[in-house]
Amino acid sequence: MTVRVPAGEVELAVEVRGEGLPVLFVHGFPFDRTLWRHQLATLSRARRIAFDLRGVGGSGVPPGGDGYSLSRYADDLVAVLDAVGVGEAVLCGLSMGGYVIFELLRRHPARVKAMILADTKPQADSAEAKRGREELTQVAEREGPDAVIERLLPRLLAPATQATQPEVAGQVREMGRRWSLPGLVGALRVLRDRPDSTETLRGVRVPTLVLVGSDDEIAPPDTARAMAQLIPGAECHVVPAAGHLAPLEQPEATNRWLDAFLRALA
């Protein structure tokens, strides 16, 4: 079932499947809720809730171009949970989706029952990374979303994915094309300006699963292991033959970890 959920000045496109423990999936940049297609299709023990961030896919674009911030994204998660009648959920985020969950922990910790953090990291952008965000903003404004995704693609997928699953690159391109230009530019600003979340994670007291692709260049395994060590009791697993998009590149291995984690929570 797909529903439209009001969230301030926009409506969000939200997909809800199944019954059971509620799991809210938060996609990264520049992807959309179809990043989670294999988890939405397969994790039948859970009530799976996935949505497009504001400015992306079926969700609305805030008027005026300044409707993007980490706090707005986090408040959108609350709007989604409220609309589907869920108080506390398992929050599952990939990369930027993780950064949004860190903000949710700061703003609305009572909504987080447990966390799954995939291919993400707590550190803020370095000065060099900030310059990269500004360059990418110029690419987006000059050449549009297609050019942004072509710049990013070489670092997103593992060599094994590129060699044996050419359709995955096509899926990534499709997700990138579903971003509006203001959505892209707004998200790049949010990414550039996000705070360091190390202290936030040290304060986490909910069960946490950290997953990372063995070939993730953006949030590599060593970074994931160090992040897991910040969170008391967190487990960390490496998904073989996956890059930055483990849930899409290696869905079976990813889903095995997700299923085991959710089973232990139920």
Give min distance, CB of 76 to ligand MLT, in A: 16
Cβ closest to ligand MLT, residue 88 vs residue 125: 125
Instruction: Yes or no: say if 21 and 262 are a contact pair by the CB < 8 Å rule.
Output: yes
Give min distance, CB of 139 to ligand MLT, in A: 14
Give min distance, CB of 96 to ligand MLT, in A: 3
Question: Could you say whether residue 169 binds ligand MLT (CB under 6 A)?
Answer: no
Residue from 24, 96, 148, 190 binding ligand MLT (CB under 6 A): 96
Interface residues for ligand MLT in 182-221 (CB under 6 A)? Answer: 191, 218
Question: Could you say whether residue 28 binds ligand MLT (CB under 6 A)?
Answer: yes
Secondary structure (3-state) at 143: helix
The CB-side HSE value for 213 (13 A sphere, CA atoms) comes to 28
Cβ closest to ligand MLT, residue 191 vs residue 239: 191
Give min distance, CB of 148 to ligand MLT, in A: 11
CA angle 125–178–102, rounded 5-degree value: 35
Cβ closest to ligand MLT, residue 28 vs residue 84: 28
- How many C-beta neighbours within 10 Å does residue 259 have? 16
Question: Could you say whether residue 29 binds ligand MLT (CB under 6 A)?
Answer: yes
Cα–Cα dist 259/220, whole Å: 23
Question: Could you say whether residue 26 binds ligand MLT (CB under 6 A)?
Answer: no
Cβ closest to ligand MLT, residue 21 vs residue 104: 104
Residue from 95, 197, 250, 254 binding ligand MLT (CB under 6 A): 95
Strands 46-51 and 235-239: unpaired
* Residue nearest to ligand MLT according to CB distances in the complex: 28
Identify the helix (H) or strand (E) that includes residue 210: strand 208-213
Instruction: Yes or no: say if 25 and 36 are a contact pair by the CB < 8 Å rule.
Output: yes
Burial class of 133 by CB neighbour count within 10 A (0 to 12, 13 to 18, 19+): middle
- Give residues in contact with ligand MLT (CB under 6 A): 28-29, 95-96, 191, 218, 244
